[in-house]
Amino acid sequence: MFTKLTCMRILFATLFVISIIELSAQSQPITFSVYFEKGKADINPADVLTINDFLALAKDSSYNAVFLKGYADPDGTNADNMSLSEQRVNNVAGMFYTKRYTVESKYFGETIAINKNKTEAEKAMNRRVDIILWTDFKLAQKNKKPQVFIVSPNRTIEFTAAEGTRIKIPANSLVYENGNTPNGDVKIEITEFYSMLDIVNQQLSTTSNGKVLESAGMINIEATRNDNPLRLKGGTLMDVQFAERAENDGFGLFYGNENARTQVVNWTPAANPTEIDKTWNISGAKLFVTDTIEKWRSKFDYNNLGQRIKVTERWEETKGTSFDTLILDKTINANKIILQATRLGWINCDQFYDDKQPTIELYVDAVREYKTDIVLIFTDRKGMILPATAGDGRLVFSNVPKGEKAIITGVGSAEGKLFFAKHDVITGENAIKLDMKETPIATINEQLAVLK
């Protein structure tokens, strides 16, 4: 004979599975409760089966987060019931920890009840854990998949990636970290970031040691042989043609270094040969800095792609007869500009904002109870800044150029709910209040889609 509590479990389990089937595609939160015996924290076997059914049905859905709320009936002491509700939450959480879900929880003991707790049936309704299954949306999704090329390292490697980036690597230029040559085909993975939405999703702030950059595109390119990383051999130049380059646009090559703790990429300009201090290797020419006589000249030449280039050379006279030559400046006068990189990894095509433009510290006050993910995006130029936390708990964007059109946007999450804000500004104000409102994930996606 079924008890009232058993029937209630069966009803909720059935509704729960139906809800998963109907709502998983829409990423709407689903709330489900599991109930416990008096004074117990063990999950009923029927509820274990129901939760496992969810895990199977939802494995290909967008659900990625669980929020748990634990309760107890009023029998026993306040302290015992608080501990009991905590144990119940922990037992339910254990079913999700090893999966792909982030888990947050609160427990309330007997302090919150949904009825008067007078009868045993009413008390049974308060011996429970509420489960909220939802999609915790973040700006920093970092989910873009690389494009893969399988190539022979013994031949010139040349390809155009999906979004227009062209790569050319000379034959026999890929080596292992120890300098050995790979024997067999290698895998090259390239991920392109041209749209602002991709840049925001990857959290690729366009800053170089705190100074703001404007980007013409970013890539991450890696090479491996049997999962062992490869690098460019010393002296090798890899041609990189970014899809959005134009003649004489002022952009140059930057390398990205990712902070292992924060996973934020800082961009630094490719080394300028005028900053030689010891030894410089470029295009196979080695120059030793000495106190000998320097001579300068400029001329026009053609590179190996048949494009006319301007070359500035520094010649050093040694013993009055021989010279070492170093190319100091190379400007390719062509409709498509090709940059030359000496390494793989994060590569950016950037230029600095006008250094003469005044900058400000822009403070943003958002709801501090949320876990927030907020960025500043420039709309007339491709650039994005991440904030730091100010001493008073506000967020601060540093070195923001004044007079620029920008968007401050972000998401927050709390207890199974999403909050969103999008604020248009002309940079100049020093403080902004960001009004975060509860927003469905579909609406957030619509609002962010314009960043493409």
Q: Which CATH number do you get for residue 385?
A: 2.60.40
CA dist 267 and 290 (Å) reads 31
Q: Taking 90 as the threshold, does the pLDDT of residue 277 lie above it?
A: no
Q: Place 112 in a pLDDT band, splitting at 50, 70 and 90.
A: very high
Residue 442 tokens, joined: 């579909």
Q: What is the pLDDT of residues 143-161, one digit of tens each?
A: 899 999 999 999 999 998 9
- Say whether both 83 and 103 belong to one domain: yes
Check: pTM over 0.85? Answer yes or no.
Answer: no
pLDDT value of residue 23: 47
Q: Taking 50 as the threshold, does the pLDDT of residue 368 lie above it?
A: yes
Q: Taking 80 as the threshold, does the pLDDT of residue 331 lie above it?
A: no
Share the mean pLDDT of the chain.
79
- Say whether both 127 and 25 belong to one domain: yes
Average pLDDT of the residues in 173-186: 94
- Say whether both 163 and 258 belong to one domain: yes
CA dist 13 and 44 (Å) reads 12
Q: Taking 70 as the threshold, does the pLDDT of residue 12 lie above it?
A: no
pLDDT value of residue 287: 34
Q: What does each C-alpha distance from 171 to 68, 167, 232, 308, 381 come to in angstroms?
A: 57, 13, 11, 24, 37
- Say whether both 243 and 380 belong to one domain: no
| Residue 328 lies in domain | 271-334
- Say whether both 183 and 262 belong to one domain: yes
CATH of the domain at 55: 3.30.1330.60
- Give Cβ neighbours of residue 256 (< 8 Å, ≥ 6 apart): 204, 218, 220, 265, 266, 267, 345, 346, 347, 348
- Say whether both 215 and 281 belong to one domain: no
Average pLDDT of the residues in 248-264: 80
Q: Taking 50 as the threshold, does the pLDDT of residue 44 lie above it?
A: yes
- Say whether both 88 and 106 belong to one domain: yes
Kindly report the three-state secondary structure assignment for every residue of 301-352.
EECCCCCEEEEEEEEEEECCCEEEEEEEEEEECCCCCCEEECCCEEEEEEEE
- Say whether both 29 and 19 belong to one domain: yes
Helix/strand/coil for 397: strand
Classify residue 311 by burial, with Cβ atoms within 10 Å: 0-12, 13-18, 19+: middle
> How many domains does the chain divide into?
4
Average pLDDT of the residues in 411-418: 87
- Say whether both 41 and 148 belong to one domain: no
- Say whether both 238 and 348 belong to one domain: yes
| Residue at a domain's end among 298, 317, 352 | 352
- Say whether both 219 and 348 belong to one domain: yes
pLDDT value of residue 247: 61
| Residue at a domain's end among 89, 115, 134 | 134
CA dist 154 and 322 (Å) reads 35
- Say whether both 265 and 190 belong to one domain: yes
Q: Taking 70 as the threshold, does the pLDDT of residue 14 lie above it?
A: no
Q: Taking 50 as the threshold, does the pLDDT of residue 204 lie above it?
A: yes
